[in-house]
Structure 1
Amino acid sequence: MNKATIYFHSGTGNSFRVARWMAETAQAHGVGGEVLSIHRKEAASEPVGDRVERGEEAPPRQPDGPACDGDWVALVAPAHAFTASWAMLKFALRMERGQGRQAAIVLTRAGTKFGKRRFPGLEGTGCYVLAGILAAKGYRVRGTLGVDMPSNWTQLHPGFAEPAAADIIEHAKAKTKEFTAQIVTGRRCLGGWLGLVLGILLLPVTVAYLAGGRFLLGKIFFASPRCTGCGQCARTCPNGSIRMIGWRRKRPYWSMTCQNCMRCMAYCPECAVEAGWSWAALLYYTLSVPGVWLMGTYLLPHLPAAIAGNKWTLAVIGYLWWLVSMAVAYALFQLLLRIPPIHWLFTLTTPTHVFRRYHEPETSLEDLQ
């Protein structure tokens, strides 16, 4: 083994930091380590700003290039709804054949701390789904690991205070370095079996999230009146899911490709990105009551009998109707936010406007870019 290539998907820096720890440990054992974003296809081991200041331009790299004998590949990503993030799943499916190349999988999960006690998150099926994909492509999976980093789900709860976050990170660092040392020295370290069992039991939650929940969560974001229209969120979104729209004053608009990575919320210089709790309740009601009534009144009676009598066809039509209804409702919501009293009403009725934001303390936007 002479080189480690570590691909990461990270919104707030947790997975990026784990990837860097893995590269550092590999280098300490005489194995070259390179950290690459699955989105930018260039080395992330050095901040982009440093290269620009020197007048250098790193040539773009192709992360899913042909495998090389003796090289080791690692995938590092957050766990979303008890499996790997959708972006990393797609990346793994697009990777080239492994040709016997060694591989490791690490998922960062939502670690928490209350008082003096730390509580683990749950990676669920994520490690072994990715391991299965890589094994089918001819990689030899040597290790899987779920590692706790501070939970960044600021849609739901405030970010942890600095001492609690630092404690979780310090324990994650030790665990990651121990795992990486075992892999680069030729040992197997296939962990996360309990997480896999629990993930299988929670599979309905995972499927619901991938099929609809991730779209719904992306459609509760909006910018509060504190937004200056700087456009940082749109420029740095790893999935290109945010557009700046408006006539005189542009504001961010989240599309259906949002993966809830929390980067926009974590790094907004004005803390203006909100997750609307009151809007989420209204959206759920709109999709559940008026949306179903409209479908039953104006769509279903006009379907051919062969389609209307097939429950699977009706399920697909209902799903598509739900997605379209959600997109239309969100567009109308964004128009309503142009009215200042309504804008303030939705801002003040969500607790996220007072939540502490979180991103990995040592990770800047330039690192992630």
Structure 2
Amino acid sequence: MVLYFSASGNTRYIAQLIARRLGDDCIDLGGRIRAGDYAPIRSEKPFVVCAPVYICEMPRFVRDYLKRLPMRGNRQVYFVFTSGGYAGMSGSLAARLVKRKKLIYRGHAEVKMPGNHIVSDAYPQPSPEECLRRIESATKQARQIAAVIRRRGTLKARHVFLAEKLIILPFNSLWSRYGQPSKPFYTTDKCVGCGKCSRLCPLGNIEMKDRRPVWKGPCAHCMACILNCPFEAIEYGNITQKKEKYNISHYVRAEK
């Protein structure tokens, strides 16, 4: 069973590709997270959890959801992380989570995808050509990952050094609390009040008032709202106006 959360489509693309190669089912956790749905998920095959990386770890709301989710049947769990190039503590924290659930951790893989954190100038946007190259490389890597899982091998990624842990853990706690404001989000005159942004927010923090979205806190900066608006009507401060609203559907055909 392949489980995933995806905001801009990167992780969905990898999860669906792996599921097809394994001949396995694929479940989008986004709706379950929004609804607080903790109904057990059973799988006779190993679980494969696919998640993006936010500030050097998997999204905290995904991790918190997995902590409470009953995962029944097969006890083996693989993780696949998508990021713009650095997955930080994602694997270490995933291993800890699996151990606490008394399941069997089978390793993790890190897949480099086009970066999508467009609300900060600290992360340069890749060109369309670079996006295509990354997606092509990630596609090949996902096939290799699926082959390892199919033969029940162990996924292996880079070692995380102690110095990294000492920096990342306290920094992430502060960043998650103070570094992800939602106040700068706003809509332009292109907004038609469709409400898609509100429906996609994994934390349920976008409320529609008078057919306009209102962002509340806290925010995970997942980018689901700004990168999935069909009219590109959402902006963030004065940072995003000239940036591509990246979504993998601009580059590859969406899977049904």
Deviations 1:173-228 (A, max 9, x none): 111221221122021123231478634432222111223323x2x23211123323
Aligned partners of 2:109, 2:162: CA distance in 1, in Å? 11
For residues 66 and 273 of structure 1, do their structure 2 counterparts lie closer, same or farther at Cα, with a shift above 3 Å needed?
A: closer
Paired residue for 2:58?
84
What is the root-mean-square deviation in Å for CA atoms of aligned residues? 2.6
| Within-5 A mapping of 1:1-369 | 5-27=1-23, 33-41=24-32, 65=40, 67=42, 70-96=44-70, 101-110=75-84, 121-157=85-121, 159-194=125-160, 198-214=164-180, 216=181, 218-246=182-210, 250-276=211-237, 350-361=238-249, 362=252
- 1:71 maps to a residue whose letter is K
- Shift, 1:258, TM fit: 2.9
Tell me the amino acid that sits aligned with residue 223 of structure 1.
Answer: T
TM-score, length basis structure 2: 0.86
Q: Deviations over 1:298-327 (max 9, x none)?
A: xxxxxxxxxxxxxxxxxxxxxxxxxxxxxx
Letter in 2 for 1:198: E
Partner SS, residue 240 of structure 1: coil
- Contact 1:98–1:134 (Cα < 8 Å) also in 2: no
Q: Distance in 1 between matches of 2:229 and 2:16?
A: 24
The separation in 2 between residues aligned to 1:65 and 1:98, in whole angstroms, is 7
Query: Using a 3 Å threshold, how does the CA distance of structure 1 residues 200 and 21 change in structure 2: closer, same or farther?
Result: farther
**Residue 7 of structure 1 contacts residue 19 of structure 1 at CA under 8 Å; is this kept in 2?**
yes
CA distance in 1, matches of 2:91, 2:242: 34
| Aligned-partner SS, 1:129 | helix
**Change in 2 beyond 3 A, CA 1:100/1:6:** closer
Q: CA contact under 8 A between 1:9 and 1:38: conserved in structure 2?
A: yes
Alignment partners' CA distance in 2, 1:254 and 1:9? 21
* Greater displacement, 165-174 / 225-234: 225-234
Please tell me whether the aligned partners of residues 124 and 195 of structure 1 are also in contact (alpha carbons under 8 angstroms). no
Residue 232 of structure 1 aligns with an amino acid whose one-letter code is: K
Instruction: Tell me the amino acid that sits aligned with residue 359 of structure 1.
Output: N
Paired with 1:15 and 1:265, the residues of 2 have a C-alpha distance of: 17
Indicate how the Cα distance of structure 1 residues 39 and 25 shifts in structure 2: closer, same or farther if over 3 A, else same: same
User: In 2 relative to 1, CA 195–274 (structure 1 residues): closer, same or farther, beyond 3 Å?
Assistant: farther
**Conserved 8 A contact 1:18-1:176:** yes
Q: Which structure: greater helix fraction?
A: 1
Counterpart residue identity of residue 45, structure 2: D
Closer, same or farther: CA 185–209 of 1 in aligned 2, 3 Å = same
Judge conservation of contact 2:46–2:74 (CA < 8 Å) in 1. no
Matched to 1:354, the amino acid is K
Cα distance in 2, alignment partners of residues 63 and 187 from structure 1: 29
Secondary structure of 1:135's aligned partner: helix
User: Under a length normalisation based on structure 1, what TM-score does the superposition of the two structures give?
Assistant: 0.61
Total equivalences in the alignment: 250
Q: Which ranges in structure 1 are unaligned for 5 or more consecutive residues?
A: 28-32, 42-61, 111-120, 277-349
SS at match of 2:30: coil
* Alignment gaps of 5+ in structure 2: none
Q: Deviations over 1:217-268 (max 9, x none)?
A: x23211123323232222333332211114xxx3211121432111211122
TM superposition shift of 1:80: 0.8
User: Matched residues in 2 for 1:67 and 1:192: separation?
Assistant: 30
CA–CA distance in 1 between the matches of 2:109 and 2:233?
35
CA distance change for structure 1 residues 234 and 22 in 2, over 3 Å: closer, same or farther?
A: same
Separation (CA, whole Å) in 2 of partners of 1:127 and 1:167: 25
Contact 2:89–2:168 (Cα < 8 Å) also in 1: no
